[in-house]
Amino acid sequence: MLKTFSTILVLLVAPAVGYAQPMVNHFDAGAKVFRLDGGGVSYVFGVNARGELEQLYWGGRLGAADKFPQAAPMREWASFDSSYTNTPQEYAGWGAGLFNEPALKVSFADGNRDLVLHYESHAEVANGFDVVLKDVARPIFVTLHYAIDAESGILARSATIENRGSEAVTVEQAAAAAWALPAGHYTLNYLTGRWAGEWTLNQEAVRAGARVIESRRGSTGHQANPWFALQAGEADEEHGEVWFGTLGWSGSWRITVEQDQLDAVRVTGGFNPFDFGYVLHAGEKLETPVFYGGYAKNGLGGASRLLHRYELEHILPRAEAKAGQEQAAGPTALTPRPRPVIYNSWEATEFNVTEAGQMALAEKAAALGIDRFVMDDGWFGQRKDDHAGLGDWYVNQEKFPHGLKPLIDRVHALGMDFGLWVEPEMVNPDSDLYRKHPDWVLHFPGRPESEQRNQLVLNLARPEVREYVLGFLDKLLTENDIAFLKWDYNRNWSEPGWDQLPAAEQKRVYVEFTRNLYAILAELRKRHPQVEIESCSGGGGRVDLGILRYVDEVWPSDNTDPFDRLTIQDGFTYAYPPQVMMAWVTDSPHWLNKRTTSLSYRMLSSMQGSLGIGANIANWTPDEAATAKRLIAAYHQVQATIVQGELYRLISPRNGSEFSATETVRASKNQAVVFAFIHSTQKGRGFPTLKLKGLDPAAEYALSAIEGKAAAGTPEVASGAWWMNHGLEMDEGFRGDFQAAAFRLDRK
C-alpha cells in the first residue's frame, strides 16, 4: 500500500568537511517518486506505470523543490529488445524476456523460473527507504534497503529476499543492487593483481557488452577487488564526473559492468552466481551483501576522498584512542585511531621464531620508537616451515618453553604492546587437528583434496568448525595479554563441498562461510574490545568493505619492495584509505626484485601509509637505526594527517612514471604532508613543481622538510594561495635513482 506524501529532514551536526546541506529523503506519492539527497548527491527512482522500480537520476544534488514526473518505462526497440529489458530497473527479476544481467534469478519447485518484481510498499527509515517488491504472481518478496550518507552522499544498498510461499525456492543469482547510468562515453576503472602484485589500476573505455570483475575463489581475492569507478567523457584525477561503487563481501563476488543495446550502462553486483545456489525454504530469507555507490564531480581524486571519509566514519571499527598513543598521533576528530607503528619479524626470521630471538628484536624495536611488536608465523604446534602445524594453536614448547608470557612481559616492559599472527581458517594435513577431524575441511567425499602451500581450508560454514575457531582464539586472547591479531588466510578454495547438507543445499557454503567469519570476528571484538585485528591474505587477498567492518587494518601486499609499493599503494588508495594500508620498511637489496634502495627512500615509501618496520633490525648499523628513529618520530607527529587526511595523488607512479607525489591535507586544513619520489632521473629533468591542493588560500603555512630540501629561496612561510598557485619546488640536487623527499606544512 502506498504511503501518503511525506518528507523527512534529518538534521545532523555540520560535518568538518563536505556539504552543509542536510540529508533528505522524500517520497512523492502523486508521482510515486523516491528521492534521496546527501552531500552533493541526489539519487532518484520511481514506480513506473507497469509497477517496476525504475532509476530516474543519480548525480549532482538537485534543487530542493525540483520535481520528477512518474517514471515512464523505456520503449521497445523493435521487437527484439522489450521495454522490460531496456528500462533501467532498480532490481530486475529474470523473467519477461530480460536479456541484461538480472539482479535476481530463482527456480521454483514446479519448474517455473519466471520472476517479475513489482512495487508493493515502502517504509521510511532514518536515512533512506526500505522498498518492498513482490513477484507478480508468487509470494517472493524482495526488500530493497537504501541509506544515503548525509556528508558524502554515498548510498548503501542491499536486498533481503524472502520466500513467503510453502515450497522451497532456489536462488540462483542474487545481486545486492544494480546501478544505472544513461547512454554515454565512460571509462571504467578497476583493480586487479596477483600475489605480490596487487592493486593494479586498469582504465579502459566501456564498450558494448559486459566486463565482468569477479572472484570465484571463496574469498575476495588478489586477482580483482570489488571496486569500480566510471568516469564520464574527459574526466581525470581531479576533474569531471565519476560514479563509483564497492561491494562489502569477503566471499565469491561479481560485479558486471554492462553497456546495453541502447548504450546505457548498468553495474550489477553481489554474490557471484558461478556455482551459486541458495535454497530458501518456506519462510526463509537471504540477505545480500551491501553495495556502496557514490558520485563525485571532481574526478577520481574526489571520488576516493569521499570514499575514504565514508570508510573512516562509517565502516571501520571505532575505538577510543589510548592514552600515550593519542598524544603520539595527535588529536583527531575521527575515532579509528591512527595505527601503532609496528615491528614484525617475518622477513627477518620467517618461521625461525624463538623466545630469545624475538626478545632481542624487541629490544632493538623499542629503541627505534616502535609502538607494537608483532610475532608472525612459526610460534605454534609443530610449525617449523609451511608443511605442518596449522590448526594446532598451542604454543610450541621447544621455541617458547615457558609459553608466550615471558616474551609478552618483556615487550610490555619495553613500552610496546604485543601482537600475534594466526591463520584460523586453515589446516595442514600434518596436524593433530586434521588427524582428529579430517572431515572438517572443504572437500567432496572420495575426491582428491587439492593442497596449496601444503594446506587445506576448514569448512567454516560448519557450526562445529566455527565454534572451534572462536574457542581457540577466545582462549588465546583470554590467557595472553595480546593487543593485536594479524589474521592471515593463505590460499583459495578448492572442492567446496559440504556433505553434511543435502546435495541441493551444499552451495550454501558460499554464504555461510563468510557469515561465520564475520560472526567470529564480531564475537571476538565483543569479548575482547581492546584487541585490534589486521586482515591479511598472503598480502592483499581479503580487502573489502565487508571485512573492514571488523578489522582495523589490512596488509596490502607481501611485496614490500619500496618502489613497487608506490604503484601498489597508489592503486590501493583508489578504493581504501591510507589509515588501513600497512606498509613495512624491509631489507635492501629486496628479496623479490633484488633492488637496492636507501633506508630513507624505503622509510618515505612506507610513511605514505600506516608505517611498520619489517627488516632484520639486528643487522642495522647505528646510522641506519638513527635514521629510522628520526623518521619514526617525524612520522608520529604527522601520522593523523597522512592516514586520515584528504589525499591528492599529485603525480601518479603508474605507467613507468619518472616521478610520483602525493599530498594529504588534514580535514581542518591546519596541516598538509607532501611526499615526492624520483624513480630514475632521465636527460637531466628536474622534479616538476608541485602545485599543492586543498589548502586554505588565505591561511599562512610554514614549510618544513621531513626529509630532503626545497629549492633555494623557497619561503619558510607563505599563503595557501602561494603553495597552490606558485607551488613547491624541489632542491636542484633532487635527482638520481630511487630518491625521496617529504615535507610538512603547518598553518601559522
Report residue 461 as a C-alpha cell: 560454514
Compose the 430-469 pattern: x for residues touching ligand GLA by CB under 6 A, - for all others.
----------------------------------------
Judged by CB under 6 A, which stretch of 123-131, 175-183, 223-231, 534-542 contacts ligand GLA? 534-542
Report the nearest approach of ligand GLA to the CB of residue 222 (Å): 11
Residues 541-570 close enough to bind ligand GLA by CB under 6 A: 555, 558
List all residues 6 or more positions away from 669 whose beta carbon is below 8 Å from its beta carbon.
694, 695, 696, 699, 720, 747
Task: Please identify, using beta-carbon distances, which residue of 347 and 570 lies nearer to ligand GLA.
Answer: 347
- CB closer to ligand GLA out of 199 and 722: 199
* The C-alpha cell that represents 286 in the structure block: 537471504
Run of H or E including 575: helix 562-575
Among 346, 563, 635, 677, binds ligand GLA (CB under 6 A): 346
Using CB atoms, what's the residue nearest to ligand GLA?
Answer: 377
State in angstroms the smallest separation of the CB of 583 from ligand GLA: 13
* DSSP notation for 53-117: EEEEEEEEPPPTT---PPP-PPPPBTTTB-HHHHS-BSS-BS-TT--S--SEEEEETTS-----E
Q: Between residues 122 and 383, which has the closer beta carbon with respect to ligand GLA?
A: 383
Smallest distance from ligand GLA to CB 435, Å: 22
Counting contacts by CB under 6 A, is residue 488 touching ligand GLA?
yes
- Active-site residue (options: 558, 564, 570, 746): 558
* Backbone φ, ψ for residue 6 (5° rounding): -155, 155
Among 48, 490, 492, 719, binds ligand GLA (CB under 6 A): 490
Q: Is 538 in the site for ligand GLA (CB under 6 A)?
A: yes
Q: Which residues of 379-412 are buried (b: 16+ CB within 10 A; e: fewer)?
A: bbbebeebbbbbbbbebbeebbeeebeebbebbe
Please say which residue, 612 or 708, places its beta carbon nearer to ligand GLA: 612
Q: Are 579 and 319 in contact (CB under 8 A)?
A: no
Radius of gyration of the chain (CA): 27
C-alpha cell at 3: 504511503
Least CB distance to ligand GLA at residue 469 (A): 18
For the four alpha carbons of 219, 220, 224 and 229, in that order, the dihedral sign comes to positive
Nearer Cβ to ligand GLA (374/692): 374
Pairing of strands 532-535, 484-487: parallel
740 is a site residue for ligand GLA (CB under 6 A): no
In single-letter form, the type of residue at position 51 comes to G
Interface stretch with ligand GLA, choices 38-46, 334-342, 393-401, 535-543 (CB under 6 A) = 535-543
Which CB sits closer to ligand GLA, 257 or 362? 362
Three-class SS state of 269: strand
How far apart, in whole angstroms, are the C-alpha atoms of residue 512 and residue 215?
A: 17
Q: What are phi and psi of 579, to 5 degrees?
A: -50, -40
What is the size of the binding site for ligand GLA (CB under 6 A)?
A: 11
* Least separation in angstroms between CB 701 and ligand GLA: 38
The nearer residue to ligand GLA, 28 or 376, going by C-beta atoms, is 376
Encoded one letter per residue, x for contact with ligand GLA by CB under 6 A and - for no contact, window 678-717 reads ----------------------------------------
Q: How far apart are CA 536 and CA 202, in angstroms?
A: 23
Q: How many CB atoms lie within 10 A of CB 470?
A: 18
Q: How far is the CB of 661 from ligand GLA (least distance, A)?
A: 28
Stretch near ligand GLA under the rule CB under 6 A, chosen from 212-220, 531-539, 628-636, 738-746: 531-539
3-state DSSP assignment of residue 433: helix
φ and ψ at 566, to 5 degrees? -60, -45
Q: How far is the CB of 530 from ligand GLA (least distance, A)?
A: 22
Q: Is 371 a catalytic residue?
A: no
| 558 is an active site residue | yes
Here the cell at position 468 is: 572451534
- Of 371, 488, 561, 746, which one is the catalytic site residue? 488
Give the C-alpha distances (Å, rounded to integers) separating 522 from 484, 515, 517: 15, 10, 9
How buried is residue 8: exposed, middle or buried, by Cβ count under 10 Å (0-12/13-18/19+)?
Answer: middle
User: Which of 404/536 has CB closer to ligand GLA?
Assistant: 536
For ligand GLA, the binding residue among 310, 421, 484, 487 (CB under 6 A) is 421
Shortest separation between residue 601's beta carbon and ligand GLA, angstroms:
22
- Beta carbon of residue 562, minimum distance to ligand GLA (angstroms, whole number): 16
> In 10 A of CB 722, how many CB atoms?
18
Q: Which parts of 373-402 interact with ligand GLA (CB under 6 A)? A: 376-377
Q: Which stretch binds ligand GLA (CB under 6 A): 291-299, 335-343, 473-481, 532-540?
A: 532-540
Residue nearer to ligand GLA on the CB measure, 248 or 389: 389
Catalytic machinery residues: 488, 558
**Contact residues for ligand GLA (CB under 6 A)?**
346, 376-377, 421, 488, 490, 536, 538-539, 555, 558
